[in-house]
Chains A and B, each alone.
Chain A
Amino acid sequence: MRYLVIPGIIAVLSVSVIVAALQLELSPAMIVGDSMQPRAFPIILMVISLTLTVLLALQYHNDPPEKVPWEGSKTWGSVALFLIFYPITVYIDMFIAIAAVMFVMCLMWGERRLLVAGAVAIVTPVSIFFLFDIVLRVRFPRGLLTNWYYG
């Protein structure tokens, strides 16, 4: 039954989209005219998706996919870093968040030299910041460092 997991997830998502589409407002007939309601196209797409999902399930039934090996801590640790990136960006500073994620990622992926990891984590975001700020004139979100820099 393992082969049904992925088609099952796709089917659930497709049905969820159909349910969400059915909640969409209906447009007055005089605006829609001979065309279709805004909900119709997503529903058509999801019906196609469900049909393809059935084909995929049949394909997997005849030729089961190989079991995907579980990735190590480097991969899932990186995903966890993305999650940590959010609160640091929102509540402290985007550039502190980038530097922190880069530093931890460097070490997590196997860099043993703290100085190198630290240098990469500081030099890269600072260089990109000044490139965007001075050359491309992009204003970054307010935070601890940017408040100090922008004044």
Chain B
Amino acid sequence: MIEALQAMASVVLDPYLILLILITTILGVIIGVLPGLGATTGAALLLPFTLTMEPVHAIAVLATIYVSATFAGSITAILINTPGTSAAAATTFDGYPLAQRGEAGRALGIAVVSSTIGGVFSVIVLCVAAPLLARVAYEFRPPEYFALTLFGLSMLATISSGGTVRNLIGGVFGVWLATIGAEPTTGIERFMFGNYELYEGLAFVPVFIGLFAISELLVQSKRINEIVDTIGMKAVKLPTRADYKKIWKTVLRSCGIGTFIGVLPAEGATVASMIGYAEARRWSKNKEEFGKGAVEGIAGAEAANNAATGGAMVPTMVLGIPGSGTTAVILVGLMVHGLRPGPYLFTEQVDTVYQIFGAMLLANLMFMAMGLYAAKLFARISLVPLQILWPIVFALAVIGAYALSSSLLDVWIVLIFGVVGFLARRHGFAVAPIAVGLILGEMVETNFQNSLKMFEGDWWLIATQPLAALFLVFAFLGLFGPVILKQILGKR
């Protein structure tokens, strides 16, 4: 434990890392306030720039983008009623009405403080929970991993707004994409159609850049003429004692909710903020104020979405199962930099792991300073013309994808998946399930094959393993729980 704390503390002794976190926090906040660019797109675009960095620095950059962009979405949510990221959607419900009443500074102050508390709380939970979970995960064999990945895939049902069936179709498509290339055990080529650059499978990063950045570019092209009303603000105001008295219970509750939701595979900050907001309303004595500028509403949503960031890192680092779209990119970042996500990360690379946690903690404190002192400036950045912003994103996407493995094929993959992602979104399918499916695809297949070998072909014996059975029950509940619950509540 002392070694872990020392590793975390070593972050503040590394001036290069501090500078990197500072620059990335500014970049993360800018990404968060720019329309359409969220933490996932930002992390995917920045991943190629981390290629020559030390693994700790690279992952710290990606994690910092994650936490700072998640927070920054609240700035535009409050000032222009447009969430910079989907995780800040619930913040608009009360943030914008409060700003309209001339209290934009107060609304932003509450958002900044709640986000910081949520973020710091979740990093502390991450530091404690991740090694404990890693100890349990050491015992996992192929059947347990297979059942766990199935659980992760089942959680795709609720990952985003796409709707259960459409999300699952997206997830299955993602898993199928993972079968492209040489089959790991036999080496037999699958769906390569003579292209040997695909022998090792589709590279994750170009697919992610296409799905998230290029598809968003095409979505944004429809919004080019939208007019936004910006609310003026003098300065961000820290919450008063009366505000703290009003929100402290909500913040604590949302910290717990956000961290728990984040830990669930494939769930993320958006779901956390919605539940955080709903629970803040449910427990409030002033329910009638919600939707009209309730400070508890802002605190509930903001504490929860930032608490989800640390929570989502737990399954990502300990089990190799992404806790959200952005952690899927971070997971790829870990792999690109030679770090093997999973329980062994906590024995083989303890220092690295805790330095990453330390960097996340520092990033949470830095975005607090940014939010308090520069929110007004960042809000202006959100007004950058889309016709300038998105062509720049195009250049970053294309060059970044090429740079990863110096392959033009990766550039075509970016463009193809950009159009595929756009067409999917056009018809109500979310792209995050495809990305998560792609990451989990190989894990599912390999662990299923190894389980078959273990049980001499008797696949049903997987369910006889206690932990695997538990995960399979979770997977069943993940898929059918909402339907069963609806039936029960309907009968009542």
Contact = CB atoms under 8 A, between A and B. Distances in A.
Interface string B200-234: 00000000000000000110011011000000000
Contact of B222 (A71, A105, A110): A71
19 contacts: A21-B190, A24-B190, A27-B183, A31-B186, A32-B185, A38-B186, A41-B445, A48-B172, A49-B176, A55-B165, A74-B224, A78-B217, A90-B408, A94-B402, A98-B398, A101-B394, A102-B394, A105-B387, A128-B395
Interface of A: 6, 10, 17, 20-21, 24-25, 27, 31-36, 38-39, 41-42, 45-46, 48-49, 52-53, 55-56, 59, 65, 68, 71-72, 74-75, 78-79, 82, 85-86, 89-90, 94, 98, 101-103, 105-106, 109-111, 116, 120-121, 124-125, 128-129, 131-132, 135-141
Given A78-B221, A79-B218, A109 B165 contact: no
A65 to B, nearest CB: 6
A73 to B, nearest CB: 9
B412 A46 contact: no
Nearest to A6: B427
A27 B163 CA distance: 38
B488 interface: no
A31 B184 CA distance: 12
Interface residues of B, number: 61
Interface of B: 48-49, 51-52, 163, 165-166, 168-169, 172-173, 175-176, 179, 183, 185-186, 188-191, 217-218, 221-222, 224-225, 385-388, 390-392, 394-396, 398-399, 402-403, 406, 408, 411-412, 415, 418-419, 422, 426-428, 445, 448-450, 452-453, 455-457
B169 A49 contact: yes
Q: Chain A at the B interface: mostly helix, strand, loop or mixed? A: helix
Contact of B390 (A31, A98, A109): A109
Given A75-B218, A94-B402, 8 more contacts: A45-B172, A45-B179, A68-B427, A75-B221, A78-B221, A116-B388, A132-B403, A138-B51
Contacts of B387: 105-106, 109-111
A124 to B, nearest CB: 5
Q: Chain B at the A interface: mostly helix, strand, loop or mixed? A: helix
A46 B401 CA distance: 29
A59 B224 contact: no
Contacts of A106: 387-388, 391
Contact of B395 (A6, A36, A124): A124
A111 B399 CA distance: 23
B391 A102 contact: yes
Contacts of A33: 453
A98 B189 CA distance: 33
A52 B169 contact: yes
A36 to B, nearest CB: 6
A49 B189 CA distance: 22
A45 to B, nearest CB: 5
Contact of B185 (A20, A31, A59): A31
B172 A35 contact: no
B386 A109 contact: yes
Contacts of A32: 185-186
Contacts of A135: 52
- Among B392, B396, B452, max chain A CB count under 10 A is at B392
A84 to B, nearest CB: 11
A71 B445 CA distance: 39
